[in-house]
Chains A and B, each alone.
Chain A
Amino acid sequence: DAKTTQPPSMDCAEGRAANLPCNHSTISGNEYVYWYRQIHSQGPQYIIHGLKNNETNEMASLIITEDRKSSTLILPHATLRDTAVYYCIVRAYLTAGNKLTFGGGTRVLVKP
C-alpha cells in the first residue's frame, strides 16, 4: 500500500471548518483513500473513503486532487468531540487483502 504523509498535529477553533491534509504521491490506480480517527481511549472509527471523486457523508467531506497525489479531509463545523488523532490510509481494494496500515496520523485539538 502507498505511504501517506500527514502533519503531526493541528489546532482548530470550535465551530470552524477543520481541513486535514494528506499526501500520498505514490498512490496506485486501484488504491482508495480512507480516513479513520481515534478518539482518546476508543478504537479507531471509520470516517470516509474515496477513489477519485470528492465524497461527502454526515461526518465529513473528502477532497481528492485530480492527480490523486493528495487529499484533504474536511470537518465542516468542528466540535470539541472531534478532538482525536486522524489517520489517512491508502489501501488497494480487493486485490491486496483488507488490512489497514496506520501511520502516525494528525493529532487534532479542537479549542473552544
Chain B
Amino acid sequence: EAGVTQFPSHSVIEKGQTVTLRCDPISGHDNLYWYRRVMGKEIKFLLHFVKESKQDESGMPNNRFLAERTGGTYSTLKVQPAELEDSGVYFCASSRDRLSHEQFFGPGTRLTVL
C-alpha cells in the first residue's frame, strides 16, 4: 500500500510568487490534514478535510492560504502571494475515518521563499 505522497519535495520561490503544494493521501482515507513547521517553531496544524469538506480550518494563518480537496481525493495547498515567513516544511497526513487513532504523514514539502 502506497503511503502519503507530497509534491514537490522542495520548492524555492521569490516573495510575491504563488506556489501550489499537492498531497495524495493513502487510498480510501477520508481524512486529510495539513500541518507545517516554520523555522525554529513547532509543527502546527493548518486544516482538516473530511472527504471534500473542510472540517476544521482553524490553523490557517491568513487568507493567502487556500486549501482544496476536489472530489475528496488529493488535496492542494496554494500560497498566494508567498511571504518570507511562509518558509518551512509543509506536511500532509491522512487517516481512514473519524474513528482512526493513527495519522499517516507524508515526507513533507520544504518551501523556501526568498
Report A's interface with B, CB cutoff 8 A: 32, 34, 38, 41-46, 49, 93-94, 97-104
Contacts and interface: CB of A to CB of B under 8 A. Distances in A.
B87 interface: no
Contact of B107 (A32, A43, A49): A43
Contact of A94 (B45, B95, B99): B99
Size range of the interface on B?
20 to 34
* A contact patch SS: loop
B25 interface: no
B102 interface: yes
Given A97-B56, A98-B31, A103 B42 contact: yes
Ranked 9 nearest A-B pairs via Cβ: A43-B105, A102-B43, A99-B45, A46-B102, A44-B105, A97-B56, A49-B101, A102-B42, A43-B91
Nearest to B106: A43
A100 B45 contact: yes
